[in-house]
Structure 1
Amino acid sequence: MAVPSAVKSSALVAAGSAALALGYATVIERNAFVVREVTMPVLSPGSTPLRVLHLSDIHMRPAQLHKQAWLRELARWEPDLVVNTGDNLSHPKAVPAVVQAVGDLLSVPGVFVFGSNDYFAPKFKNPARYLYDSNGRIHGNALPWQDLRAAFTERGWLDLTHNRRDLEVAGLTIAAAGVDDPHLGRDRYETIAGPPNPTANLSLGVAHAPYTRVLDRFAADGYQLVMAGHTHGGQLCLPFYGALVTNCDLDRSRAKGASRWGKDTSLHVSAGIGTGPFAPFRFCCRPEATLLTLVGAPTGGHDETRNVVRSSPTASVR
């Protein structure tokens, strides 16, 4: 039976649209880096503002020169603190590229934890598994995370992997703690359990993947802010719907940006900067770093939380 010409035309249009969308997602959007600005009232009342640059999921490969150039420009935002929530690497020879790209930021106080793609290289798998299998683990070869850790710590950044530290930044006291990657099941929250320093201006929890078991523990201990990455903001999003998945047990509405977790804890999840080499696309979810301006919480309580977001390229630094 002959196929009607109208059906053939519709099929061709659909195929052409799909090809254009795939080309946009793989060539244009995944390289359309932006800096988002978010204001969060999480500091103790009366504290002076604190500018925190959140980096996550760089997924660096040595040949990614455009990404490296963009990262080098981030120091122009003059943050007071850098928080790196992991997945810096996607190649065994990428450590020098990461260190050189964030080089000026290593002179700024910083804290970090690692993610699965700091420990293990990506490995090919069916891209569709990203949509239905958040628990699947396919590891590639080991990556030189020890070299990256040495480079970060030698310049002064603090490794918060199962570590609690109080640090002074811009005249404020920050009580910070972190866990190893929950996506790999390496989190051992009991090693850092307990309330943070009650005299600190900010209590900060850090993890790579925002699994609810970890967020619940930070919230129960009274942390004011938890920061994580891993989700890539969903990576594939739909207009008016948002992220399709989060690649963990976090609900889709929190795939990126600021939200509340419980009564007194704020959460910020980075949409991330890179993509894995075997799923090199983003759609309706541009790669990003986030500049958080943390300000004093209202004296009436955290219920007055406000969230102001502006997307802008680094070229528009004021």
Structure 2
Amino acid sequence: MVHVCNYRFMTSPETELFRKYVDPDFPRLEEVASTCPLVMVNFEELYALPRPMLHKVVYIGGLGITERSVGQFKVIADKASNIIVFLFGSIANASEMPSSWKNAFLNSFRSFPHIEFITRYDGEDLQSKLPQNVHTYEWLPQTDLLPLITHAGHNSIIEAVNAGVPMIAIPLFVDQPMNALLAEKRHFGILLQKSQVSEEALKEAIKTLTEDESYAKAVKHVQKMIQKKPSKPEELLVRWTEYVGKFKDLSNLTPYSVKLNFIQYYSIDVIFFIVLVLSLIIIATFKISLFIVTCLRKLFLLKKEKTS
């Protein structure tokens, strides 16, 4: 199902765009991807879930993350004992949240006067309701202002872990639920489902995150592991790019599975054969059982007639 949805809604339309504007004979993007000599993944394997991985996959998680600097927010940072940034990424705008969510966030933030809350918000409807410890801006440099309440986007997770700060993850869509579960599993984040968002739930999550030191310790541990890695992502990017440029053909790293069609890849022919055999066995068993029961019934009736 995932394969079908990915092909139907992503790779197929994108292939058509290339064929329209680049070359009418442009190959399918799936074919281009399968012949790619190397795959560089912007994810950190030290906190990702262990999984079987091809030799052609190189992790370069954390690439391009800059040093933190509070900059224009220094005044807030100096007067606050703690800062929490509330960001839902560049796609989900906080101004479009349901009113119930807005009230829940504002009321929960108001309950922590010793914490300064900073959020990206381009609407005007909350200006008169803002508590003194809540500050809104039309744009925020997320990497400069952490810890955070986040939508658990891919970049947000990487930035938070590399900065060594825990998070409250409220996933919205796509890969975010998986990222939030990962943060919860590694104990550097608190997972709060969309259906659970309320004033009390937010208060409890903020209280736990700021008072339970185990979350900070867990993320600091992963941060140190990343910092002490033998190779930095920038080095891997340069070295592997030079390597591919020198040898070009790395087909010895390409698995045979790229040559399999949809039916072969998902073993649909094997599954069909097994289902067919099992169905025949079940039908045969049913027929034989029915035949035996019928014979026994006839013998019983015949015996009964003789005795009578």
With the length of structure 2 as denominator, give the TM-score of the two structures. Answer: 0.29
Compare the two structures and name the one with the higher strand fraction: 1
With the length of structure 1 as denominator, give the TM-score of the two structures. Answer: 0.28
Q: Which has the higher contact order (CA 8 A, sep 6+)?
A: 1
Compare the two structures and name the one with the higher helix fraction: 2
**Whose Rg is larger?**
2
